[in-house]
Amino acid sequence: MSDIIRSADWFKAPSLRNIVEALSDEHGGPRIVGGAVRDSLLGLGVSDVDLATTLLPKEVMDRLEQAGIKSVPTGVEHGTVTAVADGKNYEITTLRRDVATDGRRAVVAFSTDWTEDAARRDFTINALYADGHTGEIFDYFNGQQDLKSGIVRFIGEADERIAEDYLRILRFFRFFARFGTGPADDRALAACAKGAHGLTALSRERIAQELTRLITLPNPILSVQLMKECRIFAQFLPELDDKVVEKLETVVRREAQHNLDISLAARLLTLLPRDPVAVDKVSARLKLSNRLREQLLHRVSGELPTESNVREIAYRWGMTCAIDVVNLYASDNIFEKCIARLTGWSLPVFEIKGGDVIAMGVPAGPMVARTLQSLEQYWIDQDFPAMEEMFTKSVQIVGELLSATRKA
């Protein structure tokens, strides 16, 4: 297994080699820890590389400075320093043990014991270390076997790990959606259900971040189903749609069948009723960004998608919005037709302006705006004819309108 690590491009990167050399210590460090090791063993791409060291944060920064490597004290009180080299960020954390926890944050003491550091992590598959020099893997809790077996398992007692940080409940379901290939661990599920009340103590931002990471995985269906059964959502999302699993299954299936991009907005809306008031309430509670909040509201406002109105939805709110609305709310008997109406179609531009309408005889003033709106809606209703044709038709429509106005 060490060969897999040693041959990885990220491991051979000169920036990492320089950091490892600068931070060598008498306790076998530094070591690569967590996701980079786990994902490399699975043959997955690695984007972030984290290191663990027995050196105290100040010495880490001093040694990096001596080696000409920029360091940033991103979390010194918790032992974390970020090294910046060749445009890449490497988080370097001193070995720790928990002194006290309250379910949201921990008071830590620094350590030189690798096993002690591993024991405070959440899951066995995340407690894998690799020697920074040789790539040798250190596995203190049988994480490699769990990884092969598709098991997501808490280290030690699940209740204790959850009580240290209740966000681990959501992390369990996210990691199960990513790496689980068999039945979920019964003890983990029981502990998550038992500790779910603790989610109410977490910031809404932390919950929203973890929820969005889960819901946008390729296939989060089983995790969402288990979360519903364990009443996890009840703690922060009482508006959960009772048909969430069926809705999510439909969206995931349609994405796969038509090679559609995973949409955060569409995935989130599978959790909720098609109700603008409820959606806006949830957006505010979870402190979603204004942009995402607006996207969600656009998708639940207005009419349900049909073959005749789907292009208007795209024109008014964007192609991505229209695809999401179809994916979410089109019935199976019209879904294919709606997608076909959007495929290969470019959003047109309504080129008639106020000056054009005035040139057609409409007097300047409020009537110009009303006339433009009428012409635009006609253009939409006629399925967006070419603008040359529309200009000709507009002259006729405006003439009839002016004639009717004079008669009135």
pLDDT tens across 312-345, in order? 999 999 999 999 999 999 999 999 999 999 999 9
CA distance 362 to 196: 64
Q: Residue 173 maps to which CATH number?
A: 1.10.3090.10
Q: Are 254 and 335 in contact (CB under 8 A)?
A: yes
CA distance 87 to 105: 30
Q: What angle do CA 19, 20, 25 make, to 5 degrees?
A: 120
Is the residue at 167 inside a domain?
yes
Residue range 266-278: average pLDDT? 98
Look up residue 104 and give its DSSP letter.
Answer: S
CA distance 167 to 75: 19
Q: Last residue of some domain: 116, 149, 182?
A: 149
Is 39 in the same domain as 139?
yes
Is 341 in the same domain as 366?
no
CA distance 379 to 395: 13
For 372-394, write each residue's pLDDT tens digit: 999 999 999 999 999 999 999 99
Is 315 in the same domain as 371?
no
For 310-320, write each residue's pLDDT tens digit: 999 999 999 99
Is 213 in the same domain as 300?
no
Is 288 in the same domain as 370?
no
Is the residue at 79 inside a domain?
yes
Residue where the block lists tokens 């004639």: 403
Is 53 in the same domain as 118?
yes
CA distance 212 to 400: 53
Q: What is the pLDDT of residue 103?
A: 53
Q: What angle do CA 156, 159, 160 make, to 5 degrees?
A: 60
Is the residue at 260 inside a domain?
no
Is 173 in the same domain as 289?
no
Q: What is the pLDDT of residue 190?
A: 98
Q: What is the pLDDT of residue 408?
A: 58
- Of 82-86, 99-103, 108-112, 363-367, the least confident: 99-103
Is 390 in the same domain as 333?
no
Residue type, 232: I
Domain that holds residue 228: 156-238
Tell me how many domains the chain contains: 4
CA distance 285 to 270: 17
Q: 96 phi and psi, to 5 degrees?
A: -140, 160
Q: What is the pLDDT of residue 119?
A: 94
Predicted confidence band of residue 405 (pLDDT cuts 50, 70, 90): confident
Q: Are 178 and 167 in contact (CB under 8 A)?
A: no
